[in-house]
Every structure is written in structure tokens, then in C-alpha cells.
Amino acid sequence: MPEPIYVPREPFEIKDSAGNSGCEDPRLTLIDGRIYMCYAAYDGINPPRVALTSISVEDFRVRKWEWERPVLISPPGMMDKNTCILPEKVRDRYVFFHRLDNYIWVDYRETLDFSDGDWLEGTTILRPRINKWDSLKIGICCPPIRTDYGWVLLYHGLSKFDGQYRVGAALLDLYDLDNVLCRLDHPLLEPESSYEMSGERPGTVFPCGAIVTGDTLYVYYGGGDTYLCGAYMSFGRLLKAMTME
């Protein structure tokens, strides 16, 4: 694409001075003919917060970028990032995943309307593991993938030992997402190639999207915070590993 499909529009994502700011780490979910996008909104001064916007599938397909005006959905004064919406309701409620205090949280919501100033809350379902590759902080990669065994959640983890970002997986109960059925000990993806060990942030693999086609899981990620990359593996093999542990 010659131009961005989404640009900062609101004061909470536009910089007042030099430095980084903008709309970061978007994660998209299709719900009832609309594409909902959660992203980190950062003005370069205040802690990043979660913003929510949406666009119709029809407009998206014809590249008519008429996104809804974004609204902030996380509390002020607190860094909240790595947010997505589950693609279907659970017990008649929408399900949000987000990151507070370097943990992965889940929140059940009656509506996608945050116009009344309500904020994401919820409970912690996954925490960093002290002596493992995900020891410093963790966050979701993309909306979880439904299977007969549960929801497959891909997440990134930062190590306090070598400062690298890796990708792991957990399996959540289909109807009670607070219930973690399995969490793999070892990462699925880690920085190894030159383009992952260089760039703006060396030692980083950071996905925001994934799809399953047939038996293949495709993961799309940023390498070194500089390059757009892709990786794939057998989804059946992943499920087997998660259901045997």
C-alpha cells in the first residue's frame, strides 16, 4: 500500500513534541460484518492506552478507509496495551484480552460501546514465569483461535535474562477463558535470523496476527521492530503438544 490505511487522528495519539507516538500494534477481529481494531494509542507523553475503532467489511474490501472515531477503553494514567477481542461471544458476552502490570488479563463485556467512559478491567489469567523465557512481561499476540480442545492463545514474552522477545502458546477453556488448560514450556518462535537480531529493537519477534489454513498456522510478525516477517508450522502438531501436556 502506498499510504497508511489508518493514521493518528485524536489528541491522545498525536505527539506534542519530538519522539515516538501514534497508533501501535493493531489487532483486528471480525464481528457481525464489522472489523474491530484495538491498538495502543500514544501521544509521546502519557502512558499508552488502548483505543478501539471499527470499519465495515465492505469499506475495507474496497479500500475506503472510513474508520469510526476511536475511543479510549483503558483507564487513564495506566499503561495498557496488547489488546484484542475474541471473535465470538462467550456466555452472551464479548471477551477482551489486554495487558496490565505485564500480565495478560481477560474481561467480559456486555457491549462494545465504551462511549459512557467505561474502562477495561477483568482478571489476570497469565503471568510471567520467573525462571523461564517469558520471565519479565507477557502480552497476547492476536485474537485466540478456536479449536475443539479450547482457544489457542499465542503470546509474546520478554526475558529478563537476555532481553529477547519470543512467542509462546497457551490453551484456554472454550467457555471459561479464565481456565488455562495448558501453557507450553518452550517458545514456538524466537529471534535467530539476522533481521530479527538487528533493527530498531534487536532480538525481537513480535506478532499481531495469525491465521489457520488447513493444517498450517501462519504467524505474521515484526522482526527487530523493523521488518515484516512470516512463519508457519503444523497446527495439528501444536494442538497435539498442548493436549498431551
Strands lying side by side in the sheet with 49-56? 22-31, 34-42, 49-56, 71-72
User: For 1-126, which CATH superfamily applies?
Assistant: Glycosyl hydrolase domain; family 43 (2.115.10.20)
Instruction: Please state, for a pLDDT cut of 90, what percent of the chain lies above it.
Output: 94
CA torsion through residues 140, 137, 47, 230, sign: negative
Residue 17 predicted with pLDDT over 80 = no
- Write out pLDDT tens, residues 100-135: 999 999 999 999 999 877 899 999 999 999 999 999
Pairing outcome for strands 150-158 and 81-85: unpaired
Contact 123, 158 (CB under 8 A): no
Confidence class for position 245, pLDDT limits 50, 70, 90: low
Q: How far apart are CA 150 and CA 78, in angstroms?
A: 31
Sequence-distant (6+) residues with CB within 8 A of 240 are: none
* Beta carbons within 10 angstroms of residue 157's beta carbon: 23
Confidence class for position 68, pLDDT limits 50, 70, 90: very high
131: left (phi over 0), alpha (psi -120 to 50) or beta: alpha
Nearest 5 degrees, angle CA 137-CA 50-CA 39?
90
Q: How far apart are CA 66 and CA 46, in angstroms?
A: 27
Confidence class for position 47, pLDDT limits 50, 70, 90: very high
Give φ, ψ of 182 to 5 degrees.
-160, 145
Residue 1 predicted with pLDDT over 90 = no
Q: How far apart are CA 9 and CA 242, in angstroms?
A: 42
* Average confidence (pLDDT) over 174-182: 97
Smallest Cα–Cα separation from 205: which of 182, 185, 217, 187?
187
* Average confidence (pLDDT) over 204-210: 98
Q: How far apart are CA 102 and CA 164, in angstroms?
A: 15
* Beta carbons within 10 angstroms of residue 169's beta carbon: 23
* Beta carbons within 10 angstroms of residue 177's beta carbon: 23
Confidence class for position 192, pLDDT limits 50, 70, 90: very high
**Which amino acid is residue 111, in one-letter code?**
T
Alpha helix segments (H runs only) across the chain: 57-61, 235-244
Contact 98, 78 (CB under 8 A): no
Smallest Cα–Cα separation from 95: which of 148, 140, 58, 128?
140
Residue 19 predicted with pLDDT over 80 = no
Which carries the bigger pLDDT value, residue 18 or residue 59?
59
- Write out pLDDT tens, residues 135-177: 999 999 999 999 999 999 999 999 999 999 999 999 999 999 9
Tell me the average pLDDT of the chain. Answer: 96
**pTM (whole model) above 0.75:** yes
